[in-house]
Amino acid sequence: YAALPALAAELVARGVVAIAATGDVASARAAQGASSTVPVVFTIGGDPVRFGLVKSINRPGGNVTGILFNQNVLGAKRVELLRQISPNISRVALLMNPTNPNVKVEQADAEAGAKKLALETVTLNASNAREIDAALEQLLVAKADACITGTDPILLDRREQIVSFANRHKLPVVGFVRQFAAVGALLSYGPSISWMYRQAGEYVGQILKGSNPAEMPVLQPTQFEFVINLKTAKNFGLGIPPTALARADEVIE
């Protein structure tokens, strides 16, 4: 994340006519800081008003607009779904990137959801591949029964590293997008990242045709994907409740 401001400045110096800032809040802030005139289309998981990216959701008012991945924090919901599928868990690890500007809000939501279900939580911080390895080893030391990932592009990029480690140790993982379940996580719950990037691309296209980002409302998902990896559940000896299977948008076999 620390490299982003210089990279954004380089793009502006090269004369780009628009920037797609798809690396969450840090990426959007870097692009915004590099120019007050080059249009920016972000994809983020935090509140763009709170982070000063736009004046309002409906009328951004500047050169920045985009796609809001998830205005409602879903950490508590992920804890709830995990408990339904793996009822014997007692301590949940929250794998977070501490350099993500939205991390404190998401962590607090997950902790509150766990507390309601009388579950303990332990937070493990990691911002790159090496730190993820160390955090996963801490997960074992902390005797966590499961792991929920924070909403973060770096953690998404390292999903196979996270999931393969957890599956070797029979630890259920809950990811924030379908791509985690696709590589073997027990389940995922969140908006469609494919939808998000497609909408961002369409917004860039509209800007290239003359649309003004100041008047283009920040788009938000209307549906969330609940995905269960049935193969992983069977490997862990977990029986998926029929109610959970009925609610799932996708079951990977």
Tell me what pLDDT residue 1 has. 87
Question: 153 and 24 in contact (C-beta within 8 Å)?
Answer: yes
What pLDDT is recorded for position 72?
Answer: 56
**Which pLDDT score, from 0 to 100, does residue 199 have?**
96
Partners of residue 65 on adjacent β-strands? 41
**Which residues make Cβ contacts (< 8 Å) with residue 205, sequence separation at least 6?**
none
Please name which of 147, 138, 135, 71 lies closest in space to residue 98, comparing C-alpha atoms.
135
pTM of the model: 0.84
Q: What is the pLDDT of residue 71?
A: 52
pLDDT of residue 46: 78
Residue 13 has a pLDDT of 98
pLDDT of 221 = 87
CB 127 within 8 A of CB 103: no
Note whether 96 and 150 are within 8 A (CB). Answer: yes
Per-residue pLDDT at 6: 98
DSSP state of 123: E
From residue 23, alpha-carbon distances to 46, 61, 95 in Å are 12, 22, 18
Q: What is the dihedral of CA 67, 71, 75, 78, to 10 degrees?
A: -70
Residue with tokens 């998926």: 240
pLDDT in single tens digits along all 253 residues of the chain:
899 999 999 999 999 999 999 988 899 999 999 999 999 999 988 789 989 999 999 999 999 999 998 655 788 999 999 999 999 999 999 999 999 888 898 899 999 999 999 999 999 999 999 999 999 999 999 999 999 999 898 999 999 999 999 999 999 999 999 999 999 999 999 989 889 999 999 999 999 999 999 999 999 988 889 999 999 999 999 999 999 999 999 999 9
Owner of token pair 């993500």: 100
